[in-house]
């Protein structure tokens, strides 16, 4: 069986679908990336987003299964008026896709219900996962108390950089915390893997709309737990649902207190090992593929 995956050459999509590619291959499938019309084999699956779907109706229709990532057709303001937060699949095509049994609609977030999905039907939540093919936990000497690796990822409103500057700036001014923060450094998997391993704990920061709606968590959630093992995050409901053991705090002063508490915890290593095993056993991209296949 061949799996055709829409190619993402940059941004989070590149990292996410690299994880999916290796997971599909580990399960015995052949993976082909595509970004233009292709001639498929007889039996095939497709992973594609609704933004590209209108260009590939025949390709999707003839697939054994199409795992169609769907954008909510409604986002509250101020985000909803921006193209980055709008569904680009025409209404008539959404109706057609809703009637096709081979189309399996999914999304990263927990908001696959009213009011965000009023046009799409039967959308399933399949969160992001841990790419255990490109990342792994290794014992190295600690270089940092806490680390953060990420990009500004301007979604059209450039709100995340404000949150990051306030949070990371506050922590860097705390001389009792040794910070390893790497922003927009275009690190390789290998470099990021080292930083995660070389830190006692990790922190997570989400975008403004994620903090407001609290529906989805970013990829950093999963690789932080899968490699490092201990994460302190801002407040996101999906993280609370998936990982009730993760402590969350938006107040920077309280966040610093949590970090100090954890890095001085005599049971730090055992907690990290327990969390890493939990991620490997429940939240890799292989687990996510099994969720997709079960839809």
pLDDT at 26: 98
**208-221 average pLDDT score:** 91
Report pLDDT for 30: 97
**Pairwise CA distance, residues 201 & 196, whole Å:** 8
Confidence of residue 255 (pLDDT cuts 50, 70, 90): very high
User: Per mean pLDDT, which range of 103-107, 150-154, 223-227 is the poorest?
Assistant: 150-154
Mean pLDDT score, 117-133: 95
Q: In the predicted model, what is the mean pLDDT of residues 138-158?
A: 92
- Residue 191 — very low, low, confident or very high, per pLDDT cuts 50/70/90? very high
Annotated domain spans of the chain = 2-126, 144-282
- What band does 140 get if pLDDT is binned at 50, 70 and 90? very high
pLDDT at 193 over 90: yes
Q: Please report which residue ranges of 7-154 form alpha helices under DSSP H.
A: 11-26, 57-61, 91-98
- List residues bridging with 247 in a β-sheet: 232
pLDDT tens, 65-100?
Answer: 999 999 998 899 999 999 988 899 999 999 999 999
Stretch 240-246: mean pLDDT, rounded? 96
pTM of the model: 0.95
pLDDT of residue 9 exceeding 90: no
From residue 272, alpha-carbon distances to 66, 111, 139, 224, 246 in Å are: 37, 30, 12, 10, 11
Q: Which residues pair with 65 in a beta bridge?
A: 45
Choose among 195, 111, 96: nearest CA to 145.
195
First to last CA, the chain: 18
Task: Tell me what the pLDDT averaged over the chain comes to.
Answer: 94
Q: Where are the alpha helices (DSSP H) in the chain?
A: 11-26, 57-61, 91-98, 160-172, 189-197, 208-213, 219-223, 237-242, 252-263, 268-282, 285-293
C-alpha–C-alpha distance, residues 216 and 202, integer Å = 19
In the predicted structure, residue 111 carries a pLDDT above the cut 80: no
Report the C-alpha gap between 62 and 101 in whole angstroms.
Answer: 11
Mean pLDDT of 42-60: 94
Q: How far apart are CA 95 and CA 195, in angstroms?
A: 46
Domain 144-282 indexed as CATH 3.40.50.2000: yes
What percentage of the chain reaches a pLDDT higher than 70?
Answer: 99
**Residue 179: pLDDT band with limits 50, 70, 90:** very high
Neighbours of 34 (CB within 10 A): 17
Question: Which of 22-26, 72-76, 291-295 is the least confident region?
Answer: 72-76
pLDDT band for position 105 (cuts 50, 70, 90): very high
């Amino acid at each position: 069986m061949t799996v055709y995956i829409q190619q993402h050459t940059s941004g989070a999509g590149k990292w996410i679908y690299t994880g999916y590619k290796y997971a599909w291959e580990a399960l015995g499938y052949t993976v082909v990336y595509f970004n233009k019309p292709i001639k498929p084999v007889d039996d095939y699956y497709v992973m594609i987003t609704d933004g590209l779907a209108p260009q590939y109706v025949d390709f999707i229709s003839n697939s054994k299964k199409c795992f169609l990532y769907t954008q909510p057709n409604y986002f509250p303001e101020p985000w909803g008026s921006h193209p980055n937060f709008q569904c680009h699949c025409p209404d008539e095509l959404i109706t057609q896709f809703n009637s096709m049994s081979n189309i399996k609609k999914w999304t990263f977030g927990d908001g696959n219900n009213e009011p965000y999905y009023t046009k799409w039907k039967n959308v399933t939540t399949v969160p992001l996962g841990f790419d255990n093919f490109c990342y792994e936990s290794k014992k190295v000497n600690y270089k940092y108390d806490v680390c953060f690796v990420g990009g500004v990822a301007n979604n059209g409103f450039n709100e995340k950089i404000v949150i990051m500057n306030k949070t990371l700036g506050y922590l860097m001014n705390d001389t009792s915390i040794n910070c390893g923060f790497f922003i927009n450094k275009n690190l390789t998997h290998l470099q990021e893997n080292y930083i995660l391993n070389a830190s006692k704990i990790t922190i997570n920061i989400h975008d403004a709309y994620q903090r407001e709606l609290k529906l989805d968590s970013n990829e950093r959630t999963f690789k932080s737990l899968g490699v490092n093992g201990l994460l302190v995050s801002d407040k996101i409901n999906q993280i609370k649902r998936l990982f009730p053991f993760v402590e969350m705090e938006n107040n920077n002063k309280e966040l610093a207190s949590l970090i100090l508490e954890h890095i001085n915890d005599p049971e730090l290593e055992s907690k990290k090992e327990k969390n890493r095993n939990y991620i490997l056993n429940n939240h890799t991209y292989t687990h996510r593929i099994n969720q997709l296949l079960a839809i």
